[in-house]
A and B are shown apart, each in its own frame.
Chain A
């Protein structure tokens, strides 16, 4: 219709430039216009006695519009366009032949097979007929025809970014009018960033994307990610956070295998529509050694792609000695029951320092008689040996200013975790609000002389944030977890505190006679974390619930385990990921600090990499200038299987403790993940490069889009607009309208 009314396709008007006048001089046109207007006015004045003024104005307006259109046509406007000269231009058609294109969206034909007819009939043939020089490429190289695409070797990874830039770079000395990318957009190159988009834009060649595949894989289940530490201590329970998704709402079973043995199993409800959820599952670490964990979702009955139902994670279980110092200014039940809960789990070495009389403290769980002999640590070396610090009902005034500053440094510099408990001499009643420690806590401490500690039973409950927190759960099942929270008896006491600081997370609140105040909160501070539990009465959970009930133990074990997890060591060694799917680059980094946790920039750090075939690489890590104490390096491992990485370092004459890690390499896996068409990526790359995004249904529009490419060799043309049908139709309508009005008013 558009082309019928306007004589030319819509694109011409969008891309072309309008030149309004090619005939006559402006003065003539103005003169004719003035004469025409004068005639209309004269005619109107003559008829003023015969017609009502409003009717007279209507007729005059119609005549004026008719005059304007006629004048516009008389000026002979043209549309200036720059159109490609097909015979002088080349178009590259790049077809994604990665493994994901071999997947089926309908259970019968692959994505590649299903798009070939459209590619051939709607794109290649019209372009060829238009005279363009076509180059058909697969991700494996050039091909002669569409049939050869099917025999192209499927790539393990969709390196769309690399393939695109390679194709564009290869045609940089040719008249390339555009590139048509046929793909599902599943890029696995890990190079997709703003820099790449800038690079794509700099080629100046429009890339048109033809999206293939469904945007939601209704029948598909997928484990997208597993969040679990790389190392753990024996006989502990770790919480793994597993990201899952499904095309439709359904129930499935998540299983965790250690080899062939199921060590955890959980039923999960998936919401559908590809919406990702996080399931929390408890993993027993077991004995010392390496656990090759496999997280698997039971496949759906109608699922074609089951390769993405599984993810692996290597867990190194080693006997380390995480240590927590617990300081109490008075003997109290909270200390006893916390100690029992943690001691029973055995995952941490808890050193207790309890003041028993004015001049005497009881040291519990210490390693040697000299330890904590003089009370609270006075040096960095002594305090920084711990990963966690719990301060209970302890007056701040008992400590020196240096010791209080040391507590702040423990969190800020060392990266340790600090937990402050409520109590008769805890928090504000212990004078902590006037120390630097108050500044690093997640809750504000109340000022003033009023007692804030209340020895009165109160109901503590979990916030929504707590119910979402994977490390603070009583059960893997959401409903059971929520029930367990609600079944907790009242705590024995609570302490009034201020509001949470911005950035802090409140996990528990306490309801009491004066309202509701935060009870448990945490936040990151510097390199470490701080927690406040404004009560000394969680022991009541233990005494009020059946002896078999483990709620109190689970709560404290979870809290302390979270405190000591991710606490940096003086020597830290890590890889950028755990399972290297279709990626041979293993990025390793080490952080070296001295016993006072000051960065050591002059260490020699080496990594010995042994792959599954026994091939050995020795890598020297180089210091990172912007990050003192950090060293980085890259290992290239092609062989699939387990990779062992042993880091050794020397600092001056001192040989530092070695660290061992494991990672896994595998090929041909990544393509089975995120298999839905990534139309967002395809649209973005098309938009950035000046091209457009098409679906198989709109693919025939590519030819028109090609004509006005900004790239390649073009020719200028001027298209006459005076003869567009819409102008004549308008003139006709205007004159007929005037005639009909006049006839109706009896003034023909």
Chain B
């Protein structure tokens, strides 16, 4: 009987704990419907369609749905939000004369306002999912002259997910390693491609890689005239390097290098 009571108590306690956990998870994802889709509209008040550009350059983060495999987790598109963007813009202002906005923004590919911002940043794209409509919009955005950077995805599995969805936009266009002599690598700073810029978790665990992404890759997709339109930071996490620029726990040389890449990306995008 006592045993039965204990088992009953444990069962009720477990149910209670599960409910508490679920509730807390739901509270952490205020838009419950979007939670199941993996997107987060908590930042919709800053959507581009209501705030036209107030500076020449804006840090614009791509909002996307997450892939099935990452359901239930935090929306990957908002990884490092908002510090990465804020620190990024501060770095651009300090290191260049680019007229940059004070605040980062976010946008979905299906929002026409995206065409007012020729520079786009997508993070954690190893978990992204693009609809056909979004893929078409991405293709159009890049072919018109838009420039996009993808960042913070690691290992062969996430590469596979990323590539699968990118192929919806560019079925035949090759993804290549950015050569060392590409203008991107010297447009403002001379950059070293051999250094792997780690995420803070990986760094804290004493390594620079995540999953099986041991070596850094600076890859890209070029247009028909040899201009880079999609820059791919694979097996790296520049977003963390920008986000933790003011964190004593994150190595300063990595942040410094990430800033230099950031400046080069922006200058390149605005000159090529």
Contact = CB atoms under 8 A, between A and B. Distances in A.
Given A332-B270, A357-B188, A455 B53 contact: yes
Contacts of B99: 330, 332, 424
Given A362-B188, A543-B145, A331 B270 contact: yes
Nearest to B187: A362
Interface string B202-241: 0000000000000000000000010100000000000000
B140 interface: yes
Contacts of B48: none
Given A360-B188, A455-B53, A337 B97 contact: no
Contacts of A518: none
Interface in B113-172: 115-116, 118, 140, 143-146
A319 to B, nearest CB: 20
Interface stretch (A155-163, A338-346, A521-529): A338-346
Contacts of A344: 225
Given A337-B145, A344-B225, 10 more contacts: A331-B56, A331-B98, A335-B271, A336-B145, A356-B96, A356-B187, A455-B53, A455-B55, A539-B118, A544-B116
A331 B97 contact: yes
Contact of A333 (B96, B187, B227, B270): B270
B97 A455 contact: no
Contacts of A357: 95-97, 188
Contacts of A546: 140, 144
A356 B267 contact: yes
Contacts of A547: 140, 143-144
A337 B118 CA distance: 10
Interface residues of B, number: 29
B118 A333 contact: yes
A354 interface: yes
B52 interface: yes
Nearest to B224: A344
B56 A544 contact: no
Interface of A: 329-333, 335-337, 339-340, 343-344, 352, 354-358, 360, 362, 364, 424, 455-457, 492, 539-540, 542-547
23 contacts: A331-B97, A331-B98, A331-B266, A332-B98, A332-B99, A332-B270, A333-B56, A336-B145, A336-B271, A336-B272, A339-B271, A339-B272, A340-B227, A356-B98, A360-B188, A362-B188, A364-B271, A455-B53, A539-B145, A543-B118, A543-B145, A547-B143, A547-B144
Nearest to A543: B115
Contacts of B143: 547
Contacts of A455: 53-55
With a 10 A CB-CB cut-off, give which of B53, B97, B99 has the most chain A CB atoms.
B97
Contact of A356 (B52, B144, B188): B188
B269 interface: yes
A457 B52 contact: yes
A663 B146 CA distance: 47
Contacts of A545: 144
Contact of A355 (B55, B97, B118, B144): B97
A492 B269 CA distance: 18
A492 B270 CA distance: 15
10 A-B pairs closest in CB distance: A547-B143, A331-B270, A543-B115, A547-B144, A330-B97, A357-B96, A332-B56, A336-B270, A331-B98, A543-B144
Contacts of B269: 336
Contacts of B272: 336, 339-340
A678 to B, nearest CB: 55
Interface in B239-272: 266-267, 269-272
A344 B224 CA distance: 10
Interface string B62-94: 000000000000000000000000000000000
Contacts of B52: 456-457
Contacts of A336: 118, 145, 269-272
Nearest to B141: A543
B116 A335 contact: no
A456 B52 CA distance: 8
A492 B53 contact: yes
Contacts of B98: 330-332, 356
Contacts of A540: 115-116
Contacts of B144: 542-543, 545-547
A344 B266 CA distance: 22
A710 B202 CA distance: 114
B112 to A, nearest CB: 8
A362 B183 CA distance: 11
B116 A362 contact: no
A330 B56 CA distance: 10
Given A337-B145, A547-B143, A331 B53 contact: no
Interface string B41-60: 00000000000111111000
Nearest to B269: A336
B60 to A, nearest CB: 13
B183 to A, nearest CB: 8
Nearest to B140: A547
A539 B266 CA distance: 16
Contacts of B55: 455
Contacts of B53: 455, 492
B271 A331 contact: yes
A543 B115 CA distance: 5
A100 to B, nearest CB: 55
A116 B269 CA distance: 79
A354 B267 CA distance: 10
Contacts of B56: 330-333, 424
A457 B97 CA distance: 23
A662 B120 CA distance: 53
Nearest to A354: B271
A362 B145 contact: no
Contacts of A424: 56, 99
Nearest to A330: B97
Nearest to A548: B143
A357 B263 CA distance: 10
B268 to A, nearest CB: 9
In this complex, which of A331, A356, A543 has the most chain B Cβ atoms within 10 angstroms of its Cβ?
A331
A309 B98 CA distance: 57
B97 A362 contact: no
A456 B267 CA distance: 23
A183 B116 CA distance: 68
B271 A362 contact: yes
B146 A543 contact: yes
A492 B52 CA distance: 10
Contacts of B146: 543
B95 to A, nearest CB: 6
Contacts of B116: 492, 540, 543-544
Nearest to A536: B56
B125 to A, nearest CB: 22
A335 B56 CA distance: 12
Nearest to A332: B56
B109 to A, nearest CB: 14
A362 B267 contact: yes
Contacts of B188: 356-357, 360, 362
Contacts of A333: 56, 118, 270
A290 to B, nearest CB: 30
A358 B95 CA distance: 9
Contacts of B270: 331-333, 335-336
A354 B187 CA distance: 11
B145 A331 contact: no
A360 B188 CA distance: 8
B115 to A, nearest CB: 4
B115 A544 contact: yes
Contacts of A358: 97
A340 B145 contact: yes
A326 to B, nearest CB: 11
A331 B140 contact: no
Residue of A336, A455, A456, A540 with highest tally of chain B CB at under 10 A? A336
A340 B224 CA distance: 12
Contacts of B118: 333, 336, 539, 543
